[in-house]
A and B are shown apart, each in its own frame.
Chain A
Amino acid sequence: MNIPNLLSVESLKLISSVNGKTLVDNVSYNLCAGEVLAMVGESGSGKTLAARAILGLLPPGIAPSEGRILMNGEDLLQVNSARMRAMRGAQIGMVFQEPMMSLNPAVRIGIQMAEGLRLHTQLTAAQIEARCLEILERVRIRDPKRCLMAYPHEFSGGMRQRIMLASVMLLKPRLLIADEPTTALDTLSQGEVLDLMTELAREEGTAVLLITHNLGLVARYAQRAVVMNKGVLVETGDVKQVLYSPVNSYTRKLIEALPRRGPVLTDSGVKTPLIEARNLSVSYRDNKPGWWRKGRVRKVLDSVNLTVHEGETVAVVGGSGSGKTTLGRAMLRLIASSGGGVFFRGHSIDGNNAKQFRLACQLVFQDPYSSLNPRQRIGDIVAEPLKLVRNISKQEASQRVIQTLQDVGLDGLALRFPHELSGGQRQRVAIARAIVRRPAFIVADEPVSALDMSVQAQVLALFQSLQKAYGFACLFISHDLAAVEQVSDRVVVMESGRIVEQGSRDTVFDQPQHAYTRALLAATPAL
């Protein structure tokens, strides 16, 4: 290739002035115009810092100590702040991870979009508006005129990220840095945003630095990839080479951690139904528009029928807003249903067996940071469910807690507080709390989507081995089809409160019937 490099980073080193620690060491890579380079790594690998250094947007206390960042031959580490400001936006654009946070909620979209053009060009107000409308149409926002007058909260996460992308691409930057641009989005919007991003970049000849932890996205959208681990660049090269014949052991570890479809299941005769939802409906009333009028009723769950048998794993998949989380909560009777019912071992749940039902069911949450009481020690958190079990002695209980902590690989941490543990360890605590009473049924609501790739794999494996050991049934709610493929026996696909397709895992993945299922599968990036 003889295309000149647009950006070349040469042995970049970043150190923290607080404790003198080296955060990023000896990172070098090149980026040509029109190319998509993926920067892969787990949290704490320094990938965001390495990218922010390009823009001179490092957090206070972190500074580059060695190396050069050359953009068109100009060293960005040496330019003064006025020159840097002129480069930002006009030459280098950035899309952030959290679309809910990166748009100012108090300012109309049109004004926020025009800001860049006003700063960096001499266009008139009318010209600016025309350019904004044009690009909004380009990113497929319906009714761009109205969009300019609207506030960010009127749009969904995916639409906001498209608007963000539009306002960055408006200035036709030479380089676009996208820092985990779709991590907060569901599979379908993720596909839309990234398709648009690569399309726009190709048209304008913009180079893209895509920072991500998702190897599927790397395979689909990038031409070259660099892999970072603990501040060091461990592997760099063509995407095909990095993903299919990795040289470095860390890269290999990452690729092995990807979820894989489990062995083909042999149906072992008739299974007994454990928990059933019959015509289960849930509806909310919108906030009242006025003092006297009543809010509109919205159906979040619409006559859902679902049976989970003893010991099986049923996955519920769907985009955000499809009602999958509501289904999980409604089956556990954590939210009141507006119609239909839940049957546990063939009986409707009421007064008498409600207690039995509660003791036999558990929930694992998505966010391991808010699901543990920060004032309880790990041992107490895991022991708490046993307090409600009658006829278990104190000794048995503490024995059980120790055993369970061992099961999840946390022995010896009973006296720690949650904040002293990593995200993966916290999720193990949450799982320990769920299984300590030996439940028959567990709802796992996106249990791994807040975790790093290699940790995800460990937690999924742990979950499967625990299921094998204790034989509980599981409702696995997830938007991550790859994880679903690894753990589930049956798959249920939901769209706007209804089940649109259900069947055995292999049937749903290999011969999807419903259009929505096919769209979901197509949007899921895989190696």
Chain B
Amino acid sequence: MKAFFKHKNGLIGGAMIGFIFVVALAAFFWTPYNPLAINLHIRLQPPSATHWLGTDEFGRDVLSRVMAGAAASGTVALLSVISAVGLGLFMGVVAGFFRNWVDRVLMAINDTLLAFPGILFALGVMMIVGANKWGIIIALGLAYTPTVVRVVRGTVLSIREKEYVEASRMIGNSELVTMLRHVLPNCAAPVAVLTTSMVGWVLLSESALSFLGLGVPPPAPTWGNMLASSRQYMQSAVWLSLAPGLCIALTLLGINLLGDAVRDKLDPRMVVA
């Protein structure tokens, strides 16, 4: 019974993410209207048959902007998570496995970074790199790396004490092979959970940065800067904030559902032979 619900949740999450992914991909090639085309005759129109999600303060089609925003926000979230997990995995495994001065140096750096709130750190990086798409990706990637390092190092520390790691040394495997073949694969489950939830956090951070005016600069749409510019019209044109807000919320929900399912799938013990 329990397994059935888990399975179903994973499917629902997968379907939600899949849909958003397809829409985002499509937005690279086609949107109902040009998301940047300004038409002041049709400012702030509520949803209608011609503009399904209404229009914004410059008369731009909200549906088109949400679609284009999905592409932009999705790229940022995906690329920064990939870089954070990649870098974090490398640093975490190295620190956890060698546990000598390498560990101490890496962890000292890491703990310093952890001491800053992620968003503040990202702000600092953006100052240096510049407020554009690549700046956000680098900033958010670096901001979330320390969390990954902590989780990975902790997992590695517990796994390296397992007897199968000693068995691998006993066989005569080098430290590198031992690490790649016996330690790394067993980190997969916690890292998968972290990765999926991190996509959500990064999406939120991107919105927060855009909200502060440090994200992808207008007029290019992202969910974050759409939400930011909609706040003046919260009373008069509620669809302006509802559209990107619901998109963010539903994406997070889908990702979390999918994440739980992925974790179960990755554990060989959960697969009934």
Contacts and interface: CB of A to CB of B under 8 A. Distances in A.
Interface in A275-291: none
B169 A334 contact: yes
B163 A374 contact: no
Contacts of B186: 373-375
Contacts, number: 58
Given A334-B170, A355-B172, A374-B186, A419 B163 contact: no
Interface stretch (A49-57, A360-368, A516-524): A360-368
A268 B24 CA distance: 80
B164 interface: yes
Interface in A339-370: 355, 358-359, 361-363, 365, 367, 370
A19 to B, nearest CB: 12
Contacts of B173: 384, 388
B164 A372 contact: yes
A385 B172 contact: yes
A419 to B, nearest CB: 5
Contact of A370 (B162, B168, B169, B268): B162
Contacts of A433: 167, 171
Nearest to A377: B268
B185 interface: yes
Nearest to B268: A417
A362 B170 contact: yes
Interface in A307-347: 332, 334
Given A416-B273, A419-B268, A371 B172 contact: no
Contact of B185 (A359, A372, A375): A375
B273 A420 contact: yes
Scoring B162, B164, B168 by chain A CB atoms within 10 A of each residue's CB, the highest score goes to: B164
Contacts of A332: 170
B172 A388 contact: yes
B175 interface: no
A388 B167 contact: no
B166 interface: yes
A384 B268 CA distance: 19
Nearest to A417: B268
Interface string B133-172: 0000000000000000000000000000011101111111
B164 A371 contact: yes
Interface in B170-208: 170-173, 181-182, 185-186
Interface string A403-430: 0000000000000110110000000001
Contacts of B163: 365, 367, 370-371
A434 to B, nearest CB: 8
A367 B269 CA distance: 18
Interface string A372-383: 111100000000
A359 B171 CA distance: 7
A358 B169 CA distance: 9
B273 to A, nearest CB: 6
Contacts of A365: 163, 166-167
A382 to B, nearest CB: 11
Interface string A158-169: 000000000000
B160 to A, nearest CB: 12
A370 B171 contact: no
B164 A373 contact: yes
B100 to A, nearest CB: 14
Contacts of A359: 172
B155 to A, nearest CB: 13
Contacts of A420: 273
B172 A374 contact: no
B191 to A, nearest CB: 14
Nearest to A374: B268
Contacts of A367: 163
Nearest to B270: A419
Contact of A371 (B167, B185, B268, B273): B167
A247 to B, nearest CB: 40
Contact of A374 (B166, B181, B269): B269
Interface in A11-52: none
A359 B164 CA distance: 17
Contact of A334 (B166, B182, B269): B166
Nearest to B188: A375
A252 B228 CA distance: 80
B172 A373 contact: no
A430 B163 CA distance: 11
Contacts of B171: 362, 384-385, 388, 433
B169 to A, nearest CB: 7
Contact of B268 (A362, A375, A385): A375
A20 to B, nearest CB: 15
A419 B269 contact: yes
Nearest to B186: A375
19 contacts: A334-B166, A362-B171, A365-B163, A365-B167, A367-B163, A370-B162, A370-B164, A372-B164, A372-B167, A373-B164, A373-B186, A374-B269, A388-B171, A388-B173, A417-B269, A419-B268, A419-B269, A430-B167, A433-B167
Interface of B: 162-164, 166-173, 181-182, 185-186, 268-269, 273
Given A363-B170, A365-B163, A373-B164, 9 more contacts: A365-B166, A372-B164, A372-B167, A373-B168, A374-B269, A375-B268, A416-B273, A417-B269, A417-B273
Lowest 8 A-B CB distances belong to which pairs? A371-B163, A358-B172, A373-B164, A385-B171, A365-B163, A375-B185, A363-B170, A370-B163
